[in-house]
Chains A and B, each alone.
Chain A
Amino acid sequence: MSGLRVNGLRLEVTSTGHDIVDDIDLHVPAGTVLGLVGESGSGKTTVGLAVLGHTRHGVRIASGAITCGDTEILSLSAEALRAVRGGGVTYVPQDPASSLNPALRLRTQLAEVLEVHNFGGSSAARDARLIEMMREVLLPDDAQFLQRYPHQLSGGQQQRVALAMSFACRPAVIVLDEPTTGLDVSTQAHVLTTVRSLAKAHGVAALYITHDLAVVADLADAVAVMYAGRVVEQGATADIFARPAHPYTRHLVAAAPDIGGAREIVGLSGRAPAPGKRPDGCFFALRCELVTDACRVAMPALIDVAPGHGVRCIRSGELAAQPVVVGRHRGAGVRADPVMSVTALNAGYQGTMVVRDVGFELHRGQCLALVGESGSGKTTVSRSIGGLHHEWTGQVTLSGSPLARASRQRSLEQRMKVQYVFQNPYSSLNPRRTVGDSVMRPLLVAKTSRREAEQLVAEMLERVALTAAYANSYPNQLSGGERQRVAIARALVSRPDVLVCDEVTSALDVLVQAAIVELLGGLRRDLGLSMLFVTHNLPLVRSIADSVVVMNEGRIVEQGLCEDVIGNPQQEYTARLIADTPSIEQSR
């Protein structure tokens, strides 16, 4: 038998015996890629690590069998396990910057893997393999490059070094844990191509863990979807995306923005039950709109709806017959009524210019997306507009009157009319203040009376789909999605004209992201807001924005209506960006 086979795997918390994951059956034939998809906390990384016979502290493998190639992992002694890890079974972690040893040169680091596993039997063979490895992952193989330290490489190069190390000893199985999450799309595209071709060429079974459906659609031969520690649906990639038959998978598909079409994405409320708090019956029953009494009795078994397409749902038969209907997001178009205009904006840090000659107009009720890869200067632009970054020249006008550089130099009204929502809701709320207090601050700064302010805060919390009862809670009692809602409430409570959203969904899971995007869309319509939506996520732009400004290296590359720019890019850079973005619809 070859490839990776996992049977009846169960991991539990050692102290309580609660299962983290249970009843996991996976099969990855040699030379193929299995995408393991799930939200954070679904247990996908736990399964990935178990394939290497590893568990996190306080967790144990209770039962099951894992076969990699011809090796039964769980029966190995600690010593034998060490010999297999990095040789026959390898792991590529999410963050290459922390997985490479910063004190070792690349050559030393790469050679170490080969030496430990005594690859090739001679040092000459190992040297030859080292050069070959570099070529496989499309990195330079000259001595000078190999003399470098990890910090002298870009993120993409670092991840390719990690890939080279994992493919070094011709493994039977490789586990990739969100290896492209921190990378730009073009780098991601290179890494994905490399993974696919190496797995095919060398008969490696690859387990690719990710939360990104589009990546899976692009890369994987088969998909397994995890929810609350169970595989709820698995099958060939084409089947899963064409006929998703588990309600959870259907929600994931409906929530995923896609570069191939301007989807009206739909979120889902509720949360996955944590280990020890899982109900009898189907774990998804609490959030499922198709729930019946039978669902609450016992966990459904994984039953095939088609050959090789297993679903853990009693209603899978009827669902498999209905495709997921995804609405189309229609941009509002531009009515010429500029609220904010930016002209000749140059910004920098201590004299180094990172933004050059940026100009655009934001119209009333419009959602303008500012898109670029990391380092493109998009966040600097948005922070300059928000008055948080002070080192800039040029002109930003709000309703015709120019804005000062720093927020403290702006008038009270100007400060209230331009509001900012930050990327990370775990950092943007003061942990020592109650939610109500945080949301109320802008009103108190604007000298609203306390009674009136309390009233407005309660209304605003309802408006962002929280309840007034949340006012007395603290941020650390809330989930990421709830925190981001609070941050949005704080930004909207002073009735701004312009809302600057800086990567507001990039720290959130896909269903939560969709819910936030839905919320923002609704608020925009109801309140007549203009939004500047800063993001690196091109598919998301299609689902939220009317117009788009594409930035690269501090300059605007292209701007216009979403369907024009993304549907028919005029610049080579934009076209490449779009081509590199994985898509669900286009890989069907």
Chain B
Amino acid sequence: MTVIDAGHAPSTPSGSASVLAVDRPPSVLRQALRMRRTQIGLVVAGVMVAIALFGPYLAPYGAREYVGSPNVRNAPKTRFGTDYFGQDVWSRFLHGGRSILILAVCATILGVGLGTLFGLAAAYARGRTDELLMRALDILLAFPQVLLSLVVIAMFSPSGFVVVLTVGFTTVPRVARIMRGAAIGVVERDFIGAAEAIGESRRRVLFSEILPNVSATLLVEANLRLTYAVGLIASLSFLGFTPELNSANWGLMIQENGSALTVQPWGVFLPTFAIAALTVGNGLISDGLSRVVAGIDRGKANV
């Protein structure tokens, strides 16, 4: 039996809570925000999210507005010239982020939500339920995410709803795996037994005992999955599976203007840069968070 350090604190304390042995360590989010990489990521991703959300209001032209002859790099009254169809590249760029971002966020919420539910349930149930759940998800995991999405979307029409469902569901097994791993360690701890002993319901044990203790992992995972979802939805658009054919969309823009790359590079460069900046920024945030969770920058493992 290991003797755990207890000698440095009062055994029968008196007075106010100021006699507490130590101050509470700052939250994961706050620790991550102290890191340069997280700060940069937050700025970069923040700018891209702002462009995606507010861009349509700033755009000088509509997303489908014809402004001049196609593929002209310095067409009059445009900032970055015209695209393959004679539309304003800058306006389409400003219009093209919102749908991707909204779909990605919806898909992430769906995927991470379900994945977390399955992961925690598997970890808590253990035994046969755990095996069944995780092996079923393993089978899904065997298919590449893009391939699985393509098959499903090809079967139905590529509406926003289908894209969210597909991207969301293909995210589930990956998230479930991570969350189960994080929850396994928590389930073993005695406070779970203490909750069971007073008869807390399974739902309460899952969501108010286990979940708060894996929230840091969840935060990292959600952010990471958002990054992937943006990339995946842009890729699907590039491959021609666009939810709304009439609107602009960064992935679609790359595909449309790809053939005129040498003549009018802006049509490809702007959306590519946008997707890259959004994913890199997001990635930096995830990295900062995960470093805190794993305790990398403190030189010790986080239990």
Contact = CB atoms under 8 A, between A and B. Distances in A.
Interface of A: 39-42, 94, 178, 181-182, 211, 267-272, 274, 386-388, 407-408, 410, 412, 415-416, 419-420, 422-424, 426-433, 438, 441-442, 445, 465-467, 469-470, 472-474, 476-482, 487, 490, 494, 503, 506-509, 511-512, 515-516, 536
Contacts of A41: 5, 7-8
A512 B11 contact: yes
Contacts of B189: 427-428
A407 B20 contact: no
7 contacts: A41-B8, A182-B1, A182-B2, A269-B11, A408-B199, A445-B199, A479-B5
Contacts of B17: 467, 469-470, 472-473
Nearest to B196: A407
Given A269-B11, A469-B17, A477-B24, A441 B198 contact: yes
B8 to A, nearest CB: 5
B9 A481 contact: yes
A345 B215 CA distance: 40
A386 B200 CA distance: 14
Contacts of A178: 3
B144 interface: no
Contact of B4 (A271, A433, A508): A508
Main secondary structure of the interface of A (DSSP, over half): loop
B9 A479 contact: yes
B195 interface: yes
Contacts of B4: 40, 424, 426, 480, 507-508
B20 A267 contact: no
Contacts of A516: 11
B151 interface: no
A504 to B, nearest CB: 11
Contact of A388 (B13, B22, B196): B196
Contact of B197 (A386, A480, A512): A386
Contact of B8 (A182, A271, A386, A387): A271
A432 B213 contact: yes
A58 B295 CA distance: 18
A422 B193 contact: yes
Which of B1, B22, B213 neighbours the largest number of chain A CB atoms within 10 Å of its CB? B1
B21 A477 contact: yes
Nearest to A472: B17
Contacts of B14: 269, 467
B7 A509 contact: yes
Contacts of A478: 9, 20-21
Nearest to A428: B190
A430 B205 CA distance: 11
Interface in B1-36: 1-17, 20-25
Contact of B6 (A40, A410, A416, A472): A40
Main secondary structure of the interface of B (DSSP, over half): loop
Nearest to B299: A57
B193 to A, nearest CB: 5
Contacts of A422: 190, 193-194
A269 B16 CA distance: 15
Contact of A469 (B10, B16, B209): B16
Contacts of B1: 181-182, 503, 506-507, 536
A477 B20 contact: yes
A310 to B, nearest CB: 23
A470 to B, nearest CB: 6
Contacts of B9: 271, 478-482
B20 to A, nearest CB: 4
A298 B197 CA distance: 52
B21 A508 contact: no
Nearest to B195: A441
A403 to B, nearest CB: 12
Contact of A428 (B3, B8, B25, B194): B194
Closest 3 CB pairs of A and B: A479-B9, A480-B6, A269-B12
Which of A40, A94, A472, A474 neighbours the largest number of chain B CB atoms within 10 Å of its CB? A40
Nearest to A480: B6
A335 B6 CA distance: 37
A551 B172 CA distance: 48
Contacts of A438: 191
Given A271-B10, A427-B191, A511-B7, 17 more contacts: A40-B4, A387-B197, A420-B193, A422-B194, A429-B191, A430-B209, A432-B215, A445-B198, A473-B17, A474-B24, A478-B9, A479-B8, A479-B11, A481-B10, A482-B11, A507-B4, A508-B3
A269 B10 contact: yes
Contact of A268 (B2, B3, B11, B194): B11
Contacts of B193: 388, 420, 422, 428
A508 B199 CA distance: 28
